[in-house]
Amino acid sequence: MNYLPLPISVFFLGVSALALFLFGKAVRGSKPAIVLSLVWMVLQSVIAVSGFYLITSTIPPNFILVVAPPILLIAGLFLTGAGRRFVDRMDLKWCILVHTIRIFVEVTLYWLFLYKQVPALMTFEAGNLDILAGVTVPFVWWAFNTGKMGRRGLFIWNALCLLSVLNALGRAMLSAPFRFQHFAFDQPTVAILHFPFVLLPAFIVPAVLLCHFAVFRKLTSSMNLPQ
């Protein structure tokens, strides 16, 4: 990895800690969820430091160990009774407020772009508008909480923000130096192969996705939404 000023890594470690804090609020302080998240973050950090994810020529790439377990876990939450009960206990307010973390993620990505660790297409300057999801969070929660926005409005906002994060995720995966890379061959997305930036796909993105899906479930269920 090319030289990166220490403040970038320190800043993103702070972003990751904030993401864990916000996620802890979303799961109402569930100790198993928080401990599992923390253990997963530490495990992924150790693996990244070892250089294991720098091996990108295999099919599937070693990086599948970053993205596959969270996907399977989220699927399991919605496919099992115990998992659905866990999701139903999540806090709607914090499932929305957690998306403020996306502001800091986009700042990090732009910073990494300046040091040639991610391509321009990963930044808001080149069409990755995920920062808007974070910026609109306070207004959306205020509007919903005061009755100025109904369930349909919140559903639409949540859907648009989900599409936004999926767009960013797709850009990251298809511009990373894997065998199936499609974009940014002159400057691939390499930061996520290293510590601490591996925590973005390993924890922050899955946490954001889970909160999106939890909001959908709450909006479409018959339960009363907390105000």
**Residue 194: left if φ>0, alpha if ψ -120 to 50, beta else—which one?**
beta
Region 16-24: mean pLDDT is: 98
Q: Is residue 134 part of a domain?
A: yes
Q: Is residue 172 part of a domain?
A: yes
Region 60-75: mean pLDDT is: 96
Q: Is residue 80 part of a domain?
A: yes
Query: Residue 227 above 80 pLDDT?
Result: no
- How confident is the model at residue 181, as a pLDDT? 87
pLDDT tens digits for 71-91?
Answer: 999 999 999 999 999 999 999
- How confident is the model at residue 223, as a pLDDT? 44
- How confident is the model at residue 68, as a pLDDT? 97
- How confident is the model at residue 194, as a pLDDT? 97
Helices (H), the chain: 6-26, 31-49, 64-79, 81-89, 92-97, 101-114, 131-145, 151-175, 199, 205-220
The larger pLDDT score, comparing residue 184 to residue 142, is at 142
Region 39-47: mean pLDDT is: 98
- How confident is the model at residue 2, as a pLDDT? 63
Domain count, the chain: 1
- How confident is the model at residue 119, as a pLDDT? 95
Query: Residue 191 above 80 pLDDT?
Result: yes
**Residue 224: left if φ>0, alpha if ψ -120 to 50, beta else—which one?**
beta
* DSSP-assigned letter for residue 204: I
- How confident is the model at residue 221, as a pLDDT? 81
* DSSP-assigned letter for residue 203: I
pLDDT tens digits for 110-166?
Answer: 999 999 999 999 998 777 889 999 999 999 999 999 999 999 999 999 999 999 999
Q: How confident is the model at residue 197 (pLDDT cuts 50, 70, 90)?
A: very high
- How confident is the model at residue 225, as a pLDDT? 46
197 backbone dihedrals φ, ψ, rounded to 5°: -75, -15
Region 168-188: mean pLDDT is: 91
Averaged pLDDT of the chain: 93
Query: Residue 15 above 70 pLDDT?
Result: yes
pTM above 0.85, yes or no: yes
> C-alpha 186: how far from its chain's center?
25
Q: Is residue 1 part of a domain?
A: no
The larger pLDDT score, comparing residue 127 to residue 226, is at 127
- Radius of gyration in angstroms for the set of CA atoms belonging to the chain, rounded to a whole number: 17
First to last CA, the chain: 47
Which of 137, 38, 41, 150 lies closest to 95, judged by CA? 137
Domain of residue 109: give its range. 6-220
Region 95-105: mean pLDDT is: 97
* DSSP-assigned letter for residue 201: I
Q: Is residue 189 part of a domain?
A: yes
Q: Is residue 227 part of a domain?
A: no
Which of 105, 76, 93 lies closest to 27, judged by CA? 93
Q: Is residue 13 part of a domain?
A: yes
